């Protein structure tokens, strides 16, 4: 297939060649079940899992015993939110999150709200930033959790995690963060955090594997399991482990540790070139904080064009999205941009460009030229 240029790395990233090579033996020669404790097939698989667990833990400064492997960040977030809610049956519970969170968080909050929890959805300003004073004012005596993402998947806006950690710690509240878009892109530490969701396919690992960091040796409680049937992963998550995926996750993390800082600098230069060229046009505006954002993400709105036609034509040669990969087929405006006060028609006519390892100067220049041509064609049609 003649694929377009790929500028949608926040949706998913291609597996690195090193990751694929590391995984392959565990589909064939080393096919054992990591839970098989009585023979070498199981021992080899188990050791591979533990090596990967140690690698992922190292990336975020955790202990390996604090990492639970899951099928991805959506499962991790469901386990964290619903697992804490289930600890307090028939008790009054309050949770704080934000209007710009990923749907995996928002839909989980809707579910526990249906079961009786009270939820505060914090607003954001026009840059996509939360008001920390409002966050602290929202805390109630029965608040069980603050749940705020590290970096937004649509705009790249980075929340002030350390300040949020301090607020949670001051009030003795669990802090859960969706760190999917941040891990492997910027330095991330679990210091002061109780629960953290990660996903391999956002950092050049395979799809279908993620993790939940669960803080140990702390008075605040751990979530109750949501999947039962064998007590795998220290009882937090039953089910046969995806050994090839876990091995790939571990390898992807090792590669990112080596290249993350240098790659962030390179991508920021390319992102800024893309933005500066497109923002020269009177019909284009940038969405999200200019100061506090990931270096590889740009969210731009295009005035005066029909949204679906814009996305369709741009994607003929440059693969981008109009929001989260989970909702990009929806004709509705992004809930993130809506929360930032961007009008619906402009929100629909917005594109997220997210750069990655395979993005080059040439691909950026080609993308600039193509988007400009699309806009010219649409304005003349």
Active-site residue set: 326
Question: Is there a contact between 106 and 154 (Cβ–Cβ < 8 Å)?
Answer: no
Contact between residue 367 and residue 127 where contact means Cβ atoms under 8 Å apart: no
Q: In b/e form, how buried is each residue of 232-243, taking b as 16+ CB within 10 angstroms?
A: bbeebbebebbb
Dihedral angle over CA of 151, 156, 160, 161, nearest 10: 10
Distance between CA atoms of residues 200 and 180, nearest Å? 8
Please give the Cα distance from 380 to 376 (Å, whole number): 6
- The residues, any chain, with a CB within 8 Å of residue 374's CB and separated by 6 or more, are 310, 313, 314
Kind of pairing, strands 118-122 and 94-98? parallel
Grouping H, G, I as helix, E, B as strand and the rest as coil, residue 328 is coil
Instruction: Map tokens 């140990």 to a residue.
Output: 216
20 burial (CB, 10 Å; 0-12 / 13-18 / 19+) is middle
Angle at 324 between CA 74 and CA 253, to 5 degrees: 55
CA nearest 318: which of 279, 366, 271, 284?
366
Q: How many CB atoms lie within 10 A of CB 213?
A: 27
The CB-side HSE value for 275 (13 A sphere, CA atoms) comes to 21
Q: Angle between the 73-85 and 103-114 helix axes, to the nearest 10 degrees? A: 30
φ and ψ at residue 170, rounded to 5 degrees: -60, -35
């Amino acid at each position: 297939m003649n694929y377009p240029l790929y500028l949608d790395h926040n949706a998913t990233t291609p597996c690195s060649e090193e990751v694929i090579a590391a995984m392959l033996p565990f589909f064939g020669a080393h096919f054992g079940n990591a839970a098989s404790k009585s023979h070498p097939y199981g021992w080899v698989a188990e050791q591979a899992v533990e090596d990967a667990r140690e690698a992922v833990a190292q990336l975020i400064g955790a202990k390996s015993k604090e990492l639970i492997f899951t099928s991805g960040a959506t499962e991790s977030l469901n386990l964290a939110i619903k697992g804490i809610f289930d600890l307090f049956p028939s008790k009054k519970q309050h949770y704080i999150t934000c209007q710009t969170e990923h749907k995996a968080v928002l839909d989980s909050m809707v579910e526990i709200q249906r079961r009786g929890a009270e939820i505060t959805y914090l607003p954001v300003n026009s840059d996509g930033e939360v008001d920390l004073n409002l966050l602290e004012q929202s805390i109630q005596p029965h608040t069980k959790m603050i749940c705020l993402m590290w970096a937004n998947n649509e705009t790249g806006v980075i929340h002030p995690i350390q300040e949020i950690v301090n607020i949670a710690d001051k009030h003795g509240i669990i802090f859960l963060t969706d760190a999917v878009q941040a891990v492997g892109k910027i330095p991330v530490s679990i210091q002061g955090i109780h629960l953290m969701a990660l996903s391999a396919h956002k950092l050049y690992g395979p799809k279908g594997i993620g993790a939940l960091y669960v803080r140990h040796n702390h008075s605040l409680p751990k979530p109750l399991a949501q999947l039962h049937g064998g007590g795998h992963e220290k009882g937090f998550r039953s089910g046969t482990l995806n050994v090839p995926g876990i091995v790939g996750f571990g390898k992807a993390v090792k590669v990112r540790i080596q290249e993350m800082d240098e790659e962030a600098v390179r991508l920021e230069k390319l992102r800024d070139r893309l933005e500066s060229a497109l923002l020269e046009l009177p019909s284009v505006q940038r969405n999200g904080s200019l100061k506090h954002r990931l270096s590889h993400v740009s969210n731009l709105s295009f005035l005066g064009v029909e949204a679906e036609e814009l996305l369709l034509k741009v994607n003929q040669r440059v693969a981008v999205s109009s929001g989260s990969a989970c909702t990009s087929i929806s004709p509705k405006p992004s809930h993130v941009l809506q929360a930032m006060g961007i009008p619906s028609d402009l929100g629909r006519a917005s594109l997220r460009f997210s750069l990655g390892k395979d993005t080059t100067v040439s691909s950026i220049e080609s993308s600039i030229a193509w988007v400009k041509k699309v806009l010219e064609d649409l304005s003349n049609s």
